[in-house]
Amino acid sequence: MGYVKETFRAKADEQVKEIKSLLEQHGNKSLGEVTIAQAYQGMRGIPGLITETSLLDSNEGIRFRGFSIPELRQKLPKAEGGKEPLPEGLFYLMLIGEVPTQEDVDHISATWARRSHVPNHVFDVIESLPISTHPMTQFCVAVLALQTESKFAKAYTEGISKKQHWDYVYEDTMTLIARLPRIAAYIYRRKYKNGDHIQPDGMLDWSANFAHMMGFNNDSFKELMRLYLTIHADHEGGNVSAHATHLVGSALSDPYLSFAAGMTGLAGPLHGLANQEVIRWIEEMCAELNTQQPSKEQIAEYIKKTLAEGKVVPGYGHAVLRKTDPRFTAQMEFAKTHCPEDPIVQTVWNVYEVAPPILENTGKIKNPWPNVDAHSGALLKHYGLVEEDFYTVLFGVSRALGVLASLCWDRALGFPLERPKSMTTEWIKEFVAKETVA
Ligand code: AMX
């Protein structure tokens, strides 16, 4: 057993004991009441999930094992000569609960490089899809094709005890994460670069190798990838991709099947697809106004027009956050250092100045501030990754780190099948009638 796996096992054993005693002493305490409105309106705010890897505060934003994004940028190990955190380090932090050393991070990088070989049939499955297939669909299909490699599925069929589940889920997690950049880069080169593929470079870290396989060898783009793959990794457990992965995993579907479920959710425009929508929205605005850089007044008018047409302003709003997303701020800081003069970047900043008061004035949007997706596309465009259809795949590669670390915890803690209660409107009407009489 590798030492990261051993450390994880030891941490999980401690946590199992702690949860057992918590449940014995406090299992009957209420976490709050559920209203009829919450049941109808996307279960907002209902506390019903345990996710150990990160916690979201509506004003402060995400904290991974207690660390904010600015803290992670400072504390996590970096690549040689780099300033941005290595996502390998965030994965270690989410899995183990402690800030890793450089050695821990190098160990994970090396493990992933060793396991990165993708079997040929996965490429054949991708090739069988029409080239016009959306990259996210290709990605989901490829993850499912890779499921043939699941050690958990095989062991489960052969018969294993519940106590061993975590072990195989951990192994699948490490292999799946190791292979995702190769699959994603393959889809990118297939769809946009005439199938002119680039072989992996085993000497590079996970993000730099991903950048290299997509065809980007600029050092500052590699830094962007390290930051991007770190900040998109996790956003506690209730968002669609994390919840879907956890839910499907609770049926003991293996990590490949569970992660594919998360990715089909990430592909939705209200979730991970928003990053491509943002850049399209900006480009459509520029085309309509016939300018490279619209003025703040023009942007304000365009936002009002978007709202009047009954459409959302992509990249703004959030189901939980009520302030500017620190993931937006981290990207803005990166852009200030690396590309402050870029016209799309400047437009993103101008939208940030004018959109919040307009959105607030509608009186219905609970969070008028930008989310992570409002900035990412502008940075990618700056470096020449211009194919916005592909952006959600990048998000997906990153999201694997959080949702699969969580899946390891789910199995290590022996979490059961998820099965919340649903009601019919008829049931609600009867309930209300009884309550009114009482
Ligand atoms: N533009 C226009 N209208 C918006 C809006 C926006 N950016 N954000 C919210 N609204 C509207 C909602 O559609 C809803 O309208 P309705 O009552 O007519 O149905 C009303 O404001 C109230 O919504 P809310 O409670 O503030 O938001 P929510 O929790 O229901 O939805 C989200 C959150 C993210 C889906 C929504 O803000 C949105 O659609 N934003 C644009 C898409 C986007 O950026 N998604 C990415 C989110 C981050 C991520 O997951 N990657």
- At 210, is the secondary structure helix, strand, or coil? helix
Catalytic choice (234, 325, 373, 410): 373
- E strands, 2-60, are 54-57
Question: How much is the pTM?
Answer: 0.96
Could you state, in chain order, the average pLDDT of each consecutive group of 10 residues for the chain (438 residues)? 93 97 98 96 96 96 97 97 97 98 96 97 98 98 98 98 97 98 98 98 96 97 98 98 98 98 96 93 96 96 97 96 97 98 97 98 97 96 97 98 98 98 98 88
- Structure confidence at residue 1 (pLDDT): 72
> Residue 375: what residue type?
H
Counting from 1 in the atom list of ligand 1, the atom nearest the Cα of 319 is 29
Of 232, 318, 375, 382, the active-site residue reads: 318
As for ligand 1, residues whose beta carbon falls within 6 Å of it are: 239, 270-272, 274, 307, 312-319, 364-367, 371-373
Q: Give the ligand 1 atom nearest the CA of 270.
A: 45
What is the C-alpha separation between 99 and 105, in angstroms, rounded? 10
Q: What angle do CA 374, 341, 295 make, to 5 degrees?
A: 65
CA of 256 to the centre of ligand 1 (A): 30
How would you write 296-353 as a 3-class SS string? HHHHHHHHHHHHHCCCCCCCECCCCCCCCCHHHHHHHHHHHHHCCCCHHHHHHHHHHH
197 is catalytic: no
Q: What pLDDT score was predicted for residue 102?
A: 97
Q: What local confidence, expressed as pLDDT, does residue 437 receive?
A: 82
Residue with CA at minimum distance from ligand 1 atom 44: 315
How far apart, in whole angstroms, are the C-alpha atoms of residue 108 and residue 229? 15
Decide if 271 is catalytic: yes
DSSP designation for 63: E
Annotated catalytic residue 373 = yes
As a whole number of angstroms, the distance between CA 327 and CA 271 comes to 15
